[in-house]
C-alpha cells in the first residue's frame, strides 16, 4: 500500500477518491506490470505482478499512474527519520515498504509496546498511510508478522516468537520471488513446513538464502539494524582501540562525548532536546540510550547525569568498539538574564529534575493539570506538559469540588424526594448512610456540541454529609421531572476531604 | 545507636518535666550533643508554621520542619480514599515556595479541589508512577531536586525507605509529605510501624461547621499528631484548608478553652 498511499498523499486534493481503484505500473523486463495496488484495487481482484493491460481490462474506470520506486525509497527514508525522531534511537528503512525500529528500552516511554504500536498506526493513519505494525524478538519475525499477521498491530512476548511465525506463509520470509515460487511448487506452504525440512537439501536446491532467513526470523543469527543518520545534526563519536565494557569506563567516555557535543552545540547556539547515545558492539549489535529534556539544555553536567543514569540498561556483551552521541533534536538556546534583583530570590529551576523523572517513568506520566472550560467535571481538566507555560487561570471556585473524583460514577441506591431534594439516605458500596446535611443542586447541562445524546442531558449535583461527617459528591441523572433529561438514577462521583 | 538517641531525648523530656531547677546550660549542651549525633546541625532548620497557635505550640521550633519527612494518613474511610489527607497535604504544600511535585499511583486526584486548598494548577506537577517502588524512587529524586514540597501517596513505607527520604529532604530543605493510603481498611494497621519521619498525622473528617440555614458549612477535621520527633503528640479540631491553604481553629473552640467545653457537656449530659 505504501506507493499508492504516498501517491495519494502527494497528489493532495487532486488524488482519486479512496473508493476508486488505483494502481501504479512500471516495467518488469519488457512487460508493463502492476507494481502497486491500493485496497480498492485489491478488492476488485487486481494483484501485484499482473500485466497492466489485463488490469485495465478487468476493472473499468481504473486509475493508472506511473510508479516511481526511487521516490518511494526516498520517502521511506524520511519516514524512518520520523520514526527515529518520534520513537526510538535505532530506526531504518526496510525497503520496499517498511520501517524497522529497535524498540528495546524505548517502549515504556510510549506506554508499553501495544500502546506504542497503536499510536504508530493511528498517527500514520491520520497522515493517510495504511500501516500495520508488529513487535517480535527479531527483525525477520516482526517483518513477517506485520505483513502477514491477522491483526493490524501484533505484540509477541519475548521468547514466544517461534509459534507465531511458524504458521505464516513462506512469502513472509523475505526471500526472492523466484525462490518462493520454487518452494511453492515443491509443496511448501508455511514456514513450519520449511523449518522441519533438513537444511542440506534446501541449500543444495535454493542456495543458503532460505536457511539464513529462517535463522534470522527465529533470532538464531543476529541481524544488526544499520540506524539511519539524519543529516545536519550535531554528532560526536569515539572509536576504541580496545573494546570497553565496564560501566565506569562507559560513564567516563560518555562524559567526554557530552563535553564535545556541548561545545559543538554552543557554536550553533543550540540546546539539545533529545540525545541518542549508540554503542556499537564488537559482535555487530547496536545498543542505544535515548534521553529527552523538557527544555533545550546545553549543560554538560545535566546531560551527563541523564545519560549515565541509563548505563545500567546497556548490555556491553564482549565489548563496545564505537560510541556515537547525537543530538537528534536540538532547539535554539539563547542566553537569558538571571534575576538580578537583590530583594526577590529566584524560584529554583526544576527542569533538570523533571528531565530525570521523565526519563525514568515516561514523558506522558509527568504532567500538570490545566483548566478546560467545561461544566462536566470529568472534562474540566486536561493534562499539559510539566514545563508548558502557565496560563495563570484556574477553575471557577464558587462551588466546592471533591478531592477525589471516581474514575467512573458509581450507581447508588437512594431515598430522595423529586424533583430537587437531596437524598435522605443512600447506599454506596454496600454501606447505608443517612444524610444529615446537604447542599445543592448544582445543575450541569450536557454538552450537545460534543455528542448528540447530551442534547437534553442534565446532572444535578449535591454535596451531602452523613452523620459521621463524611462528605460525598452525588448526582442525579436528569432534572427530576422530565425523563428525557436522564434516567433519574443516582450516582456517586466524588469524595470531599 | 538510634535507640540510644531516643533514650537521651526521652530522658531529657522527663527531666525537663520533673525538675524545673535543672540548669538550662546543661540541657542546651546535651541538645547540642544530640544534634551533633544526628548530623543535621550543618543546616539551621527552618519551620513552616501553621499559623494556629495551639498547633504550632506543640511542634518543636514552632511549626513543621522544612527539610523533613512528614506522614499523613486519613482516619476511618479516609485510610482508603485519602481525601482529607490529600487536602491537608495540599494546604501545607501551598504555603511553601516554589513548585510542588505530587507522585501518585492511582490518578483520582481532582485538580480543582487541590486549587481550592490553595495550590493553583500552575504550581503542581503530577507524576504517575507504575508501582510503589518507583513512587519512592521518584519521591526521593524530587526531594533532592529543588521543589518546595513533594507529596507522594504511598502504601508501605519501611524504616530504610523513610530514612532515605528524610536524608534527601534534609539535603535540600524541601518538605516531604508521605500521604499514606491503603487499598483496604484492614491494611491501615501498617500505620503503627515506626518510620524515620519527623511527624505523623492522622486526619479524620468531622461534621462540618453548623450553619444557621440548611447546607454544608466549612469542613472540619479531627487532626491527630500521633508522633512528633522531640515533641509531644496532641490532637485538635480544626477547620479545613481555606483558599490559601491555611487551617483554622473553629470559632467555638477558639473562643472557649476545649477543656471547659467538655466539662460543661459532661455536666449537662
Element (H, E) at A492: strand A490-495
Measured between alpha carbons, how far is A186 from B16 in angstroms, rounded to an integer?
98
Among partner residues A349, A469, A497, which is closest to B86 by beta-carbon distance? A497
Question: What is the least distance, in Å, from the CA of B230 to any CA of chain A?
Answer: 29
- Could you tell me if A380 lies within 8 Å of chain B, comparing CB atoms? yes
Q: Closest residue of B to A387, CA-based?
A: B125
* Strand pairing report for B100-104 and B124-128: parallel
A202 and A244 in one domain?
no
Question: What is the least distance, in Å, from the CA of B194 to any CA of chain A?
Answer: 26
CB of A374 closer than 8 Å to CB of A380: yes
Q: Closest residue of B to A363, CA-based?
A: B127
Residue A350 domain-assigned (yes or no): no
Q: Closest residue of A to B134, CA-based?
A: A361
Closest CA to A36 of A27, A46, A26, A23: A23
pLDDT of B258 above 70: no
Among partner residues B111, B215, B217, which is closest to A381 by beta-carbon distance? B111
Residue B234: its pLDDT value, please? Answer: 92
List all residues of chain A from 109 to 168 with a beta carbon under 8 Å from chain B. none
Q: Which residue has the cell 499508492?
A: A4
* Strand pairing report for A458-466 and A471-477: antiparallel
A239 and A319 in one domain?
yes
Residue B207 in grid coordinates: 461534621
Q: What's chain B's average pLDDT?
A: 83
How many CA atoms, within 13 angstroms, populate the side-chain half-sphere of residue B186?
Answer: 0
Residue A355 domain-assigned (yes or no): no
The pLDDT confidence band at residue B44, using thresholds 50, 70 and 90, is: low
A244 and A301 in one domain?
yes
Residue A18 domain-assigned (yes or no): yes
Residue A349 domain-assigned (yes or no): no
Is cis: bond before A441, omega within 30 of 0?
Answer: yes
Measured between alpha carbons, how far is A491 from A494 in angstroms, rounded to an integer?
9
Residue B22: its pLDDT value, please? Answer: 58
Q: Which residues pair with A100 in a beta bridge?
A: A92
CB of A475 closer than 8 Å to CB of A409: yes
Number of inter-chain CB pairs under 8 A, A vs B: 169
Say yes or no for a CB contact (<8 Å) between A403 and B86.
yes
Those residues with Cβ within 8 angstroms of residue A313's Cβ, 6 or more apart along the chain or in another chain: A105, A289
Of A284-298, B155-169, B200-214, where does mean pLDDT reach its minimum?
A284-298
CB of A372 closer than 8 Å to CB of A382: yes
A211 and A102 in one domain?
yes
The pLDDT confidence band at residue B40, using thresholds 50, 70 and 90, is: low
Length of chain B, in residues: 269
Among partner residues A360, A403, A467, which is closest to B87 by beta-carbon distance? A403
Residue A315 domain-assigned (yes or no): yes
- Could you tell me if A347 lies within 8 Å of chain B, comparing CB atoms? yes
Residue A217 in grid coordinates: 526470523
- Could you tell me if A497 lies within 8 Å of chain B, comparing CB atoms? yes
The pLDDT confidence band at residue B15, using thresholds 50, 70 and 90, is: very low
CB of B184 closer than 8 Å to CB of B54: no
Residue A342: its pLDDT value, please? Answer: 61
- DSSP labels for B122-144? TTEEEEE-SSHHHHHHHHHHHHH
- A392 contacts on B by Cβ (under 8 Å): 122
The CATH number of residue A27's host domain is: 3.40.1170.60
A248 and A210 in one domain?
no
Average pLDDT per block of 10 residues along chain A, 497 residues long: 83 81 86 87 85 88 87 89 85 87 79 87 88 90 89 87 88 88 89 89 88 88 83 87 91 93 90 89 86 86 89 88 89 72 67 86 88 89 86 81 92 87 91 91 89 87 91 90 86 91
Residue B55 in grid coordinates: 498547633
Most A-contacting residue of B76, B108, B112 (CB-CB within 10 A), to test interface: B112
Measured between alpha carbons, how far is A328 from A80 in angstroms, rounded to an integer?
13
Of A209-218, B16-25, B181-190, where does mean pLDDT reach its minimum?
B16-25
A25 backbone dihedrals φ, ψ, rounded to 5°: -120, 160
Say yes or no for a CB contact (<8 Å) between A368 and B81.
no
Residue A242 domain-assigned (yes or no): yes
Residue A362 domain-assigned (yes or no): no
Residue B162: its pLDDT value, please? Answer: 94
pLDDT of B20 above 60: no
CB of A281 closer than 8 Å to CB of A317: yes
Among partner residues B85, B141, B207, which is closest to A469 by beta-carbon distance? B207
Give me the torsion for CA of B48, B49, B51, B56, rounded to 10°: 160
CB of B105 closer than 8 Å to CB of B129: yes
A203 and A106 in one domain?
yes
Say yes or no for a CB contact (<8 Å) between A369 and B147.
no
Q: Closest residue of B to A404, CA-based?
A: B109
Say yes or no for a CB contact (<8 Å) between A357 and B138.
yes
Give me the torsion for CA of B129, B130, B136, B140, rounded to 10°: -40
CB of A433 closer than 8 Å to CB of A426: yes
CB of A366 closer than 8 Å to CB of B138: no
A201 and A106 in one domain?
yes
Question: What is the least distance, in Å, from the CA of A406 to any CA of chain B?
Answer: 6
A205 and A117 in one domain?
yes
Out of A191, A217, A243, pick the residue that ends a domain: A217
Residue A38 in grid coordinates: 491500493
Length of chain A, in residues: 497
Residue A343 domain-assigned (yes or no): no
| Angle between helix A351-361 and helix B132-144 axes, rounded to 10 deg | 160
Among partner residues B115, B125, B203, which is closest to A354 by beta-carbon distance? B125
List all residues of chain A from 323 to 342 with a beta carbon under 8 Å from chain B. none
Out of A332, A347, A379, pick the residue that ends a domain: A332
DSSP state of A189: -
DSSP state of B114: H
Say yes or no for a CB contact (<8 Å) between A365 and B127.
yes
DSSP state of A490: E
A256 and A172 in one domain?
no
- Top pLDDT among B36 and A265 is at A265
- Could you tell me if A82 lies within 8 Å of chain B, comparing CB atoms? no
Measured between alpha carbons, how far is A240 from A244 in angstroms, rounded to an integer?
7
pLDDT of B266 above 70: no
The CATH number of residue A320's host domain is: 3.30.1490.100
Measured between alpha carbons, how far is A144 from A194 in angstroms, rounded to an integer?
15
Percent of chain B with pLDDT over 70: 83
Q: Where do the H-state alpha helices sit in B19-102?
A: 24-38, 53-58, 78-81, 83-94
Q: Closest residue of B to A398, CA-based?
A: B116
Measured between alpha carbons, how far is A293 from A297 in angstroms, rounded to an integer?
7
Residue A340: its pLDDT value, please? Answer: 60
Closest CA to A92 of A218, A209, A224: A224
- B125 contacts on A by Cβ (under 8 Å): 350, 354, 366-368, 386
Residue B84 in grid coordinates: 482529607
Domain containing residue A157: 90-217
- A380 contacts on B by Cβ (under 8 Å): 112
Say yes or no for a CB contact (<8 Å) between B87 and A497.
yes
A258 and A185 in one domain?
no
A213 and A100 in one domain?
yes
Say yes or no for a CB contact (<8 Å) between B110 and A392.
no
Segment B75-101 shows an average pLDDT of 90
CB atoms within 10 A of CB B87: 29
Distances (CA, A) of B41 to B31, B168, B232: 11, 15, 22
Number of domains within chain A: 4
Closest CA to A274 of A106, A78, A92: A106
Q: Closest residue of B to A382, CA-based?
A: B111
Question: What is the least distance, in Å, from the CA of A347 to any CA of chain B?
Answer: 6
A252 and A169 in one domain?
no
* CATH superfamily of this structure's domain B47-255: P-loop containing nucleotide triphosphate hydrolases (3.40.50.300)
The pLDDT confidence band at residue B10, using thresholds 50, 70 and 90, is: very low
Distances (CA, A) of A250 to A88, A243, A316, A326: 21, 11, 9, 16
CB atoms within 10 A of CB A292: 16
How many CA atoms, within 13 angstroms, populate the side-chain half-sphere of residue B79?
Answer: 14
- B216 contacts on A by Cβ (under 8 Å): 400, 437-439, 463-465, 471
SS3 (DSSP) at B186: helix
- A361 contacts on B by Cβ (under 8 Å): 127-130, 134, 138
- B85 contacts on A by Cβ (under 8 Å): 497
Amino acid at each position: 500500500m505504501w506507493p499508492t498511499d504516498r501517491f495519494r498523499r502527494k497528489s493532495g486534493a487532486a488524488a482519486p477518491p479512496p473508493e476508486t481503484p488505483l494502481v501504479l505500473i512500471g516495467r518488469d523486463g519488457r512487460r508493463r506490470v502492476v507494481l502497486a495496488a491500493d485496497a480498492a484495487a485489491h478488492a476488485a481482484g487486481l494483484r501485484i505482478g499482473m500485466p497492466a493491460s489485463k488490469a485495465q481490462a478487468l476493472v473499468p474506470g481504473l486509475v493508472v499512474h506511473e510508479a516511481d520506486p526511487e521516490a518511494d525509497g526516498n520517502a521511506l527514508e524520511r519516514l524512518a527519520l520520523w520514526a527515529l525522531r518520534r520513537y526510538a534511537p535505532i530506526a531504518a528503512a526496510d525497503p520496499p515498504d517498511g520501517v524497522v525500529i529497535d524498540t528495546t528500552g524505548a517502549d515504556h516511554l510510549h506506554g508499553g509496546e501495544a500502546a506504542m504500536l497503536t499510536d504508530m498506526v493511528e498517527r500514520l493513519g491520520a497522515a493517510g498511510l495504511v500501516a500495520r505494525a508488529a513487535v517480535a524478538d527479531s527483525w525477520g519475525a516482526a517483518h513477517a508478522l506485520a505483513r502477514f499477521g491477522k491483526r493490524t498491530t501484533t505484540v509477541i512476548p519475548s521468547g514466544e516468537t517461534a509459534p507465531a511465525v511458524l504458521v505464516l506463509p513462506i512469502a513472509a520470509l523475505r526471500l526472492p520471488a523466484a525462490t518462493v515460487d520454487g518452494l511453492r511448487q515443491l509443496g511448501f506452504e508455511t514456514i513450519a513446513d520449511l523449518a522441519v525440512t533438513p537444511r542440506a537439501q534446501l541449500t543444495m536446491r535454493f542456495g543458503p538464502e532460505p536457511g539464513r532467513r529462517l535463522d534470522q526470523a527465529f533470532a538464531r543469527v543476529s541481524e544488526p539494524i544499520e540506524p539511519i543518520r539524519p543529516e545536519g545534526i550535531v554528532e560526536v563519536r569515539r572509536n576504541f582501540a580496545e573494546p570497553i565494557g565496564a560501566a565506569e569506563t562507559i560513564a567516563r567516555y560518555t562524559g567526554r562525548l557530552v563535553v564535545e557535543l556541548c561545545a559543538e552545540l554552543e557554536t550553533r547556539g543550540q540546546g539539545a532536546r533529545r540525545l541518542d547515545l549508540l554503542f556499537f558492539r564488537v559482535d555487530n549489535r547496536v545498543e542505544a540510550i535515548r534521553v529527552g529534556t523538557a527544555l533545550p539544555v546545553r549543560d554538560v553536567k545535566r546531560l551527563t547525569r541523564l545519560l549515565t543514569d541509563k548505563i545500567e540498561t546497556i548490555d556491553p556483551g564482549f565489548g563496545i568498539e564505537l560510541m556515537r552521541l547525537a543530538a537528534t533534536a536540538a532547539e535554539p538556546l539563547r542566553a537569558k538574564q538571571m534575576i538580578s534583583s537583590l530583594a526577590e530570590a529566584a524560584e529554583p529551576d526544576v527542569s533538570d529534575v523533571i528531565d530525570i523523572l521523565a526519563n525514568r517513568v515516561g514523558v506522558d506520566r509527568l504532567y500538570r493539570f490545566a483548566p478546560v472550560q467545561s461544566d462536566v467535571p470529568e472534562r474540566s481538566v486536561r493534562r499539559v506538559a510539566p514545563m508548558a507555560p502557565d496560563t495563570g487561570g484556574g477553575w471557577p471556585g464558587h462551588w466546592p469540588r471533591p478531592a477525589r473524583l471516581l474514575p467512573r460514577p458509581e450507581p447508588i441506591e437512594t431515598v430522595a424526594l423529586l424533583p430537587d431534594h437531596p437524598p435522605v439516605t443512600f447506599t454506596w458500596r454496600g454501606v447505608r448512610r443517612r444524610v444529615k446535611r446537604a447542599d445543592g443542586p448544582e445543575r450541569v447541562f450536557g454538552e450537545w456540541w460534543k455528542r448528540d445524546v447530551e442534547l437534553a442531558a442534565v446532572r444535578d449535583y449535591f454535596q451531602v454529609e452523613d452523620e459521621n461527617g463524611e462528605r460525598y459528591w452525588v448526582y442525579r441523572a436528569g432534572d427530576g421531572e422530565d425523563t428525557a433529561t436522564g434516567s433519574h438514577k443516582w450516582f456517586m462521583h466524588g469524595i470531599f476531604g | 545507636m538510634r535507640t540510644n538517641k531516643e533514650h537521651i531525648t526521652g530522658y531529657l523530656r522527663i527531666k525537663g518535666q520533673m525538675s524545673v531547677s535543672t540548669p538550662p546550660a546543661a540541657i542546651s549542651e546535651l541538645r547540642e550533643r544530640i544534634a551533633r549525633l544526628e548530623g543535621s546541625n550543618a543546616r539551621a532548620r527552618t519551620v513552616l508554621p501553621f499559623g494556629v497557635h495551639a498547633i504550632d505550640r506543640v511542634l518543636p521550633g514552632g511549626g513543621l520542619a522544612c527539610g523533613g519527612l512528614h506522614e499523613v494518613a486519613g482516619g476511618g474511610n479516609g485510610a482508603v480514599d485519602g481525601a482529607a489527607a490529600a487536602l491537608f497535604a495540599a494546604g501545607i504544600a501551598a504555603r511553601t515556595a516554589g513548585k510542588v511535585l505530587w507522585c501518585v499511583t492511582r490518578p483520582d486526584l481532582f485538580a480543582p479541589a487541590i486549587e481550592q486548598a490553595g495550590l493553583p494548577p500552575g504550581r503542581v506537577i503530577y507524576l504517575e508512577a507504575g508501582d510503589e517502588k518507583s513512587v519512592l524512587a521518584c519521591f526521593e529524586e524530587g526531594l533532592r531536586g529543588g521543589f518546595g514540597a513533594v507529596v507522594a501517596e504511598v502504601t508501605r513505607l519501611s524504616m530504610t525507605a523513610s530514612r532515605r527520604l528524610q536524608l534527601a529532604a534534609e539535603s535540600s530543605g524541601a518538605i516531604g509529605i508521605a500521604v499514606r493510603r491503603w487499598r483496604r481498611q484492614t491494611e491501615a494497621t501498617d500505620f503503627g510501624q515506626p518510620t524515620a519521619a519527623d511527624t505523623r498525622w492522622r486526619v479524620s473528617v468531622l461534621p462540618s461547621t453548623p450553619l444557621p440555614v440548611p447546607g454544608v458549612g466549612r469542613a472540619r477535621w479531627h487532626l491527630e499528631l500521633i508522633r512528633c520527633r522531640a515533641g509531644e503528640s496532641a490532637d485538635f479540631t480544626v477547620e479545613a484548608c481555606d483558599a490559601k491553604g491555611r487551617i483554622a481553629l473553629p470559632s467555638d473552640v477558639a473562643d472557649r478553652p476545649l477543656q471547659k467545653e467538655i466539662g460543661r457537656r459532661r455536666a449537662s449530659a
